[in-house]
Amino acid sequence: MKKILYTLLIFSFISVGFAQQTPAKKQTEAITIEGATAHLGNGKIIENSLIMFENGKLTFVGSANMRIARKGTVINAKDKHIYPGFIAPAKSLGLVEVNAVRASDDQDEIGEMIPHIRSIIAYNAESKVVESMRPNGVLLAQVTPKGGRISGTSSIVQFDAWNWEDAIVKEDDGIHMHWPNYFRQGRRRAGEEPGYRPNEKYSEELDKISVFFENALAYSKATAKELNPAFKAMNGVFEGSQKFYIYANGEKEIIDAITIAKEGGAKKIVLVGGYQAYKITNFLKENDIPVLINFTHTLPEFEDDDYNLPYKNPKLLVDAGLIVGLQNASVSNFQTRNLPFYAGQIVGQGLDKEVALQLITGNNAKILGIDSDYGTLEVGKSATLFISKGDALDMRTNLLSKAYIDGRDISLETHQTKLWKRYMNKYEGTK
């Protein structure tokens, strides 16, 4: 109670409004953070660290024992922790505001094979949901269209921008495809039992995919007289300039998906989902496929599965030597602020804490192709990081005091923190 009173005193002078947070100004002055435990996002850790950044780039990452001049504003972060900004792949953040309000939903265009649909132009940089990611350390995301067979093209954004253009980290980074299911649910309307049964159209659906690949590839070989936007949009996948994200969960579906996409000419394939990927890690390794594994806070798919299979699934892939990132593509966007806790859950299953962190930082950056700038705390990379009071993978101690995107000192306030303060003020004022 005392703590709260204290907090209130601090906050009572801050005016409360309802507008979104104003994007921070460009970094003009160097910033030095000293004394924290730095979690680099590449599996390494520096106790009593010294981190410096200028003009949005990290200029020093090392030990505070180094006798080196501290530049600019010095922040004493003793007993605190520094992390690279967390990266959320395969989300429709900024494309939908309130799930149940159709007018606020821009995540799923009609059509089955629509790689030419681009998410970035619909991205709402002022979304209240996006804003709510930041106080938990989630600072970047792959904004991804949903639905259909090929849903469209994603782009990677950072979460502190005036508009979508400013938000871009990597435009049109990849194309997303949802693999058909080998089993399908019974259709009640057709008088079927609601359970799952073999999908009798599975091979037909696979054939459609192959035909699409063949045509798109043929189209890319010649200069077309008449534009086919869908075929054209696949060019980057064939060239390898865009990644091809395939969503598949069953063992068979994964094997089919990787095989057909490779045969079809996709150069850089990423598996998204991978519920049963642990059964075929050798296959994935041989084919050099990184996996964006399902987040941990889900239920087992099959009744007889281990109760903790979703919890330990990422660890099984890491242990097998695959490159593994973590995504929560299948749930509502607001949940993405729990990304660090999905990673923390794996630690409870015996995965090293720093490796778990890697799944939402260094590895996600690598898989999304933004690792030259983001994902780890290394000199020369973007100063996209935050300071937490404690262990950021555990909900009790994930408490941010500062966060920076490209060196810009961003606000950690949100619509939600404002309401919190507004009402605490009200109650304290009436007592």
Partner 1 sequence: MKTRILVLTLFWCSSFLFAQDYFPQNDGVKSKNNNYTAFTNAKIYVTPTQIIENGTLLIQNGKVIQVGKSVTLPKNTVKIDATGKSIYPSFIDIYSDFGVEKPKRATSRGRSSEYKPTREGFYWNDHIMPETNAISDYKFDTKKAKELREAGFGIVNTHLQDGIARGTGVLVALNSEGTDANRVLDDKSAQYFSFDRSVTKNQSYPTSLMGTTALLRQMYSDMNWYAKGNIDTKDRSLEALIANKNLTQIIEAKDKAKDILADKIGDAYGIQYTILAGGDEYENIAEIKATNAKYIIPLNFPKAYDVSNPYQAGYVSLEDMRHWNLAPSNPKVLTDNGVQYAITLYDSKSTKTFKENLLKAISYGLPKTKALEALTTVPAQILGKSTEIGSLQSGSYANFLIASGDIFDKKTTLYENWVQGQKSVINDINLKDIRGDYNLTVDNTTYELNITGDLSKPKATVKLDTTKLTSKIKYSNDWLDLSFSTKNDDLYRMTGLVSKTSDNLEGRLILPTGKETFFKAIKTTSFSEKEKDKKENKSIKLMPIHYPNIGYGYTTKPTQETILFKNATVWTGEDAGVLKNTDVLIKNGKITKIGTNLNAGNAKLVDATGKHVTAGIIDEHSHIALLSVNESGQNSSAEVTMEDAVNSEDMNIYRNLAGGVTTSQLLHGSANPIGGRSAIIKLKWGESADKMIYNNSPKFIKFALGENVKQSNWGSYSRFPQTRMGVEQVYMNYFQRGKEYDALKKSGKPYRYDEEMEVIAEILNGERFISCHSYVQSEINMLMKVADKFDFKINTFTHILEGYKVADKMAKHGVGGSTFSDWWAYKYEVNDAIPYNAAIMHSQGVTVAINSDDREMSRRLNQEAGKIVKYGDVSEEEAWKMVTINPAKLLHLDDRTGSIKIGKDADVVLWSGHPLSVYARAEKTIIDGAVYFDIEKDQQQRNLIQEERNMLINMMLKEKESGKPTQKPTKKHNEEFHCDTL
Instruction: Identify the residue among 34, 251, 319, 378 touching partner 1 (CB under 8 A).
Output: 251
Q: Look at the alpha carbons of 274, 276, 279, 283 in this order and tell me if their dihedral is positive or negative.
A: negative
226/303 with CB nearer partner 1: 303
78/426 with CB nearer partner 1: 426
| Range 289-328, binding partner 1 (CB under 8 A) | 297-300, 302-304, 306-308
Query: What is the phi/psi pair of residue 62, to 5°?
Result: -170, -160
| Range 3-32, binding partner 1 (CB under 8 A) | 3-4, 7
Instruction: Identify the residue among 347, 357, 360, 377 touching partner 1 (CB under 8 A).
Output: 347
25/194 with CB nearer partner 1: 194
182/231 with CB nearer partner 1: 182
Q: Look at the alpha carbons of 314, 315, 320, 322 in this order and tell me if their dihedral is positive or negative.
A: positive
| Range 81-140, binding partner 1 (CB under 8 A) | 97-101, 128-129
Shortest approach of partner 1 to residue 206 CB, angstroms?
14
Instruction: Identify the residue among 47, 193, 207, 263 touching partner 1 (CB under 8 A).
Output: 193
162/196 with CB nearer partner 1: 196
Shortest approach of partner 1 to residue 289 CB, angstroms?
19
> Residue 386's beta-bridge partner residues?
83, 403
CA atoms within a 13 Å half-sphere pointing along the CA-CB vector of 364:
33
423 is a site residue for partner 1 (CB under 8 A)? yes
CA 135 to CA 387: how far, in whole Å? 10
Q: List CB contacts of 38: < 8 A, sequence separation 6 or more.
A: 45, 46, 49, 51, 61, 81, 82, 377
Here the tokens at position 163 are 């508009």
Helices (H), 76-136: 128-131
345/364 with CB nearer partner 1: 345
CA atoms within a 13 Å half-sphere pointing along the CA-CB vector of 49:
23
Shortest approach of partner 1 to residue 26 CB, angstroms?
30
CB atoms within 10 A of CB 275: 22
| Range 171-190, binding partner 1 (CB under 8 A) | 182-183, 185-186
229/348 with CB nearer partner 1: 348
CA 72 to CA 76: how far, in whole Å? 13
CA 290 to CA 325: how far, in whole Å? 8
265/273 with CB nearer partner 1: 273
Looking at 70-78, 83-91, 205-213, 340-348, which segment touches partner 1 (CB under 8 A)? Answer: 340-348
345 is a site residue for partner 1 (CB under 8 A)? yes
Strand (E) or helix (H) holding 285: helix 281-286
191/223 with CB nearer partner 1: 191
List the one residue out of 152, 209, 143, 142 whose CA is nearest residue 175: 152
E strand spans, 128-188:
138-143, 150-158, 168-178, 183-185
198 is a site residue for partner 1 (CB under 8 A)? yes
Q: Which residues bind partner 1 (CB under 8 A)?
A: 1, 3-4, 7, 97-101, 128-129, 182-183, 185-186, 193-198, 250-252, 297-300, 302-304, 306-308, 332-334, 337-338, 341, 344-345, 347-348, 393-399, 416-417, 419-420, 423-424, 427, 430
